[in-house]
A = this chain, B = another copy of it.
């Protein structure tokens, strides 16, 4: 198996197919840890992981924090509100101060695209991008392809449709990179005002007709609609959006295939999907959450866990 030699996880655009596959394989092993009676392995004991969140987040912050704790790392939360950024300190200053305390990793979420990359270039600790602006959210992309692979046994050749506000979605971007590298056929579907110009150059198809694409989709990845987009004139009305691009059971039943339903959460029930679809038998939304912890454990382990991360050593972790 290919060895891991990345120091940071900034985006999926920059990972090879083999690197993504190594993360998925590692995550498979770690998923079992969270089902044990004692959900803890000692691989990151004595490591310090800082969770630096400049946007509110419950699930992503919690998922990283649990992943770190189940690997026995020490965690430290810093949120923008309570931080000394309110004293006018620059982000890079602040990050250099955190680095000076000999931390091993900084997991950062920030509203501006590119911030994690800047930190990775300037700092010694490993940086994980937990979402930057409209750019990428790599661990979300990883947990999504992990979930698809778990259900279908493969990614290559599957028809995956991503529905919604593609323009502003870092989740969509990370998924596009991961899915294309792993050989899926990706279709993007949403209002023309929320579709990035020229996105087809990435190797994806674009459609404005949800009913048409449903007929050949194996997986439907439904994005969260930020309701603010209506005020920003991207949308005529929420009702119109729901009528055209909202996913309900009726539309699913009309499709010729049994489609896997995914959503990164939190859901706007009644807008981008109906409650019936969110809680239905085709939905793997909560399974995505479960897999998020496993994927993040894998990423933390690969970035921090060992110097030589061959597959033998990964197996040994689980004999502790």
Given A101-B63, A102-B293, A286 and B96 contact (CB-CB distance below 8 Å): yes
Whole-angstrom CA separation of A74 from B96 in the bound complex = 26
Interface string of A48-84 (1 = CB under 8 A from B): 1010000011110011011001100010101101111
CB neighbours of A243 from chain B (8 A): none
Q: Which of A40, A90, A266, A290 has the most CB of B within 10 A?
A: A266
Asked if A56 contacts B39 (CB within 8 A), the reply is no
Does A89 have its Cβ within 8 Å of any Cβ on chain B? yes
* Distance, CA A86 to CA B57, complexed state (A): 10
Whether the pair A35, B102 counts as a contact (CB closer than 8 A) is yes
A1 contacts the other chain (Cβ, under 8 Å)? no
Asked whether A265 is an interface residue with its Cβ less than 8 Å from the other chain, the reply is: yes
Q: Which bracket fits the contact residues of A?
A: 35 or more
Q: Which residues of B contact A97 (CB under 8 A)?
A: 58-59, 265-266, 286, 289
Return chain B residues, CB-CB under 8 Å to A87.
56, 266
Within 8 A of B (CB), among A6-57: 34-40, 45-48, 50, 56-57
Interface set, chain A 202-246, CB cutoff 8 A to B: 227
Q: Check A84 against B59 for contact (C-beta < 8 Å).
A: yes
> Does A98 reach chain B (CB closer than 8 Å)?
yes
Residue of B nearest to A78 (CB): B58
Say yes or no: B39 contacts A101, CB within 8 Å.
no
- A227 vs B88: C-alpha distance when bound (angstroms): 10
Task: Give the contacting residue for A93; candidates B39, B78, B83, B266; CB below 8 A.
Answer: B266
Q: Are A289 and B100 in contact (CB under 8 A)?
A: yes
Given contacts A93-B267, A266-B88, contact A62 B76 (CB under 8 A): yes
Q: At the interface, yes or no: A308 with Cβ under 8 Å from chain B? A: no
A3 at the interface (CB under 8 A from B): no
Q: Name the residue of chain B whose CB is nearest to the CB of A68.
A: B74
A253 to B57, alpha carbons, bound, how many Å? 48
Residues of B near A83 (CB, < 8 A) are 56, 58
Q: Which residues of B contact A90 (CB under 8 A)?
A: 269
Min CB–CB distance A121 → chain B (angstroms):
15
Given A34-B102, A35-B102, A58-B94, 9 additional A-B pairs, CB 8 A: A39-B47, A40-B45, A40-B74, A56-B82, A58-B82, A58-B97, A59-B84, A88-B266, A97-B289
A-B contact pairs, 23 of them (CB 8 A): A34-B102, A35-B102, A37-B46, A38-B45, A38-B46, A38-B47, A39-B48, A39-B102, A40-B74, A48-B66, A48-B70, A58-B85, A62-B98, A66-B74, A66-B101, A79-B82, A89-B266, A97-B265, A97-B289, A100-B289, A100-B290, A101-B292, A102-B293
